Amino acid sequence: MKKFIFIFLFFSIIFLWQNTNFCKSKNLTFAVFGDCHLSDETSLSEKILAKIVEAINTSESNPEFVVCLGDIVAYPVSVDKIRYEKALDKYIAYTRMLKVPVYTIPGNHDLEGGREFEEIFQKKMGNFFFNIERKNFLLFFLDSENMSETQISWLREKIKKTHQKKIVFMHKPVLPTFTGKGYGLDIKVLVHLKAIFENNNVTTVISGHEHFFYTKKTGKLTQVISGGAGGKLAPAPEGGISNYHYCIITIKDNGSVRVKPVFIKCDERN
């Protein structure tokens, strides 16, 4: 009898240990949206953001966190201090309704007003660039609008950590589909960043800026563009979709990426 009890307890302990360790998912699921282009006044962009927040909160995907990919505000709000602060406060009010943490990075419109506006953004949103750890992933949130040597040096040092997988969030894509002077990052910066990512086990780069949904794998690097959270939509490249949306992204422990755009139906009448 004692032998039977011992065997029963032994296998019970093994079962519980397996279920709390081996069977615990190491996949990472989160939501992203970009380019809200909010105003200080009620607008279509605000209605879209409200619907995105509601959809994320009720999503069966259960994202662990949310990332805003920048361009919270748009011109001319971005260069009028009073209107700028009101638009940022509106964004904060909506994202506070989210049931999970939200991380925000700046876009070009968020900082185009100059130093005073940068200080307002930093006071309300936090650091322009930072990194966090989630499960077996190291996540980098970059400021693509001020890609200074200070930020590059910080990135080179932090990205050396021997985490299995690394993910980067930045407003402007490292592999832009739109080209043209002044539209994206300087080509030398893009080449340099791409090399850093590829040499340090970055699997995925997630950006906004281009106002559509698009994803493409180039070599070992998967790029996701999600710029449909309220700004005026742009024609999407082949394989992309020009629609208001946010994305649910799951990155598995083996590095595979699943991107699901969730489209938002909204017009001035609803």
Domains of the chain (ranges, CATH numbers): 24-263 (3.60.21.10)
* 186-224 confidence digits (pLDDT tens): 888 999 999 999 999 999 999 999 999 999 999 989 999
Strands (E) in 34-153, as ranges, are 66-68, 102-104, 130-134, 137-141
Kindly indicate the confidence band of residue 21, based on its pLDDT and cuts at 50, 70 and 90: very low
- The reported pLDDT for the residue numbered 178 is 80
User: CA separation (Å) from 143 to 12, 69, 140, 169, 210?
Assistant: 50, 10, 10, 9, 16
Q: Is the pLDDT of residue 37 over 60?
A: yes
Kindly indicate the confidence band of residue 179, based on its pLDDT and cuts at 50, 70 and 90: low
* 134-174 confidence digits (pLDDT tens): 988 999 999 999 999 999 999 999 998 776 789 999 999 99
Kindly indicate the confidence band of residue 254, based on its pLDDT and cuts at 50, 70 and 90: confident
Q: Is the pLDDT of residue 6 over 70?
A: no
* 86-138 confidence digits (pLDDT tens): 999 999 999 999 999 999 999 999 999 999 999 999 999 999 999 999 988 99
Of residues 269 and 217, more confidently modeled: 217
- The reported pLDDT for the residue numbered 162 is 72
Of residues 178 and 199, more confidently modeled: 199
* 43-82 confidence digits (pLDDT tens): 999 999 999 999 999 999 999 999 999 999 999 999 999 9
- The reported pLDDT for the residue numbered 15 is 42
Q: Is the pLDDT of residue 12 over 50?
A: no
Distance CA 56, CA 245 (A): 11
Q: Is the pLDDT of residue 5 over 50?
A: no
**How are beta strands 257-263 and 221-226 bridged, if at all?**
unpaired
Residue closest to 177 by CA, chosen among 224, 244, 219: 224
Q: Which residues contact 124 (CB under 8 A, 6 or more apart)?
A: 85, 88, 89, 92
Answer yes or no: pTM beyond 0.75.
yes
Kindly indicate the confidence band of residue 268, based on its pLDDT and cuts at 50, 70 and 90: low
Q: Is the pLDDT of residue 26 over 70?
A: yes
Q: Is the pLDDT of residue 34 over 90?
A: yes
